[in-house]
Amino acid sequence: MKLYREAFKAMGTPCEIQLYAKTKVQAQRAAGLIIADVRRLEARYSRYRTDSFLSDINRVAMAGGRISVDKETEGLLNYAATCYGQSKGLFDITSGILRRAWDFKSGELPSRVQVQELLDKIGWEKLRWAPPVLEFPIAGMEIDFGGIVKEYAADRAASLSLQAGVRRGLVNLGGDIKVIGPRPDGEPWRIGIRHPGHKEAAMGMLLLHKGAIASSGDYERCIVLDGVRYGHVLNPQTGWPVRHLASVTVISDLCVVAGSASTIAMLKEANGSAWLQNLGLPHFWVNMEGETGGSLEEGSIEAVAMVQNSERQAAITVLNEY
């Protein structure tokens, strides 16, 4: 059984599929199904595309109207509602409008008045969600499925590969990784955890036989003023950046769970690790001082130095969407 690789770009990030298949034709068929579905989801839920269904929803939101959604979107909204409840309001798909105040390229902080005006239009509880109808009583709101759709796409990719008869491999959508099935030799997949402060460095190497892994991190997009770093992970209840954790990596059976859990842990700051521990989710964290911790068992994570080009064939560096 041979390893086939397919690299592509989608959802604004580099992606890769690795498949062990009997024939190249079988691998290409599975890869084709995966790529087509990822691009379908991007076309439906990208906030950068004016022709996406998400943009249709947000045009209605801007006017303070209501819209009926399809079953797939209904499922995503229900999951968003679950995350909102479990995080006590920290995971909030209405918080994307904070980007209107936070321009990380400008090097300047927003005014507290700017942030407060946006906070008045943030809050899942402000919406009226009676499936399949989503209503926006307050004009000027919007929703964003960032933190859900890419991870959902990774889970779907694994299912599509299995349906195509390819049962060994993995899919990596910009660092959101779902294992389709184990390597033929029985060895685990080796997945590097990106160092939050160094683009080409890895904090460690995860050994994964099954499941999924996702990370949330306060990486390159930031503002530094008077020695204080303001990162891009924003608390929807205050409108200001988190200040405790620099990155969180989570392992789960589903990538969508790993992704949302890592984001919630970042937003919970000092309480994030304990929250993940209570859920029984293996995790690894790095705080702003460079200290590390988490519940991953001894032997499941190996310290590594700089990821060299020769190692890139064996390790998949976890990259995050900025």
Residue 65 DSSP code: -
109 lies in the same domain as 35? no
> Domain ends where: 105, 135, 165?
135
Task: Name the burial class of residue 288, with classes exposed (0-12), middle (13-18) and buried (19+) by CB atoms within 10 angstroms of its CB.
Answer: middle
Are 237 and 109 part of one and the same domain? Answer: no
In a domain? residue 235: yes
280 and 317 share one domain: yes
Write down the pTM of the prediction: 0.89
Q: In total, how many domains does the chain have?
A: 3
Q: Is 263 annotated as a binding residue?
A: yes
What distance in Å separates the CA atoms of residue 246 and residue 291, rounded to the nearest whole number?
10
170 with 197, same domain?
no
C-alpha span between 120 and 125 (Å, rounded): 12
Pair 127, 251 in one domain = no
Give residue-wise pLDDT tens across range 250-302. 999 999 999 999 999 999 999 999 999 999 999 999 888 888 899 874 445 54
Residue 119 domain boundaries: 53-135
Residue 312 has pLDDT above 50, yes or no: no
Q: What is the DSSP letter of 306?
A: B
Where does the pLDDT of residue 161 fall: very low under 50, low under 70, confident under 90, or very high at 90 and above? very high
Last residue of a domain, one of 104, 135, 166: 135
Report residue 306's pLDDT band, with 50, 70 and 90 as the boundaries. Answer: very low
Does residue 205 share a domain with residue 75?
no
Could you read off the pLDDT of 72-127 as tens digits, one per residue? Answer: 999 999 999 999 999 999 999 999 999 998 887 777 788 999 999 999 999 999 99
Report how far residue 24's alpha carbon sits from residue 22's, in angstroms, rounded to the nearest whole number. Answer: 7
Q: Are residues 314 and 228 in the same domain?
A: yes
Same domain (yes/no): 14, 89: no
293 and 202 within one domain? yes
Task: Note the pLDDT tens digit of each residue in 186-231.
Answer: 999 999 887 776 666 677 788 899 999 999 987 656 666 666 676 7
What secondary structure does DSSP assign to 186-236, as a single string?
Answer: SPPEEEEEEPTT-TTBEEEEEEESSSEEEEEE--S-EEEETTEEEES-B-T
Q: Is residue 75 marked as binding?
A: no
Q: What's the pLDDT score for residue 221?
A: 66
Identify whether residues 290 and 206 lie together within a single domain.
Answer: yes
Asked whether residue 166 falls in the same domain as residue 40, the answer is: yes
> Residue 307: pLDDT above 60?
no
Amino acid at 84: Y
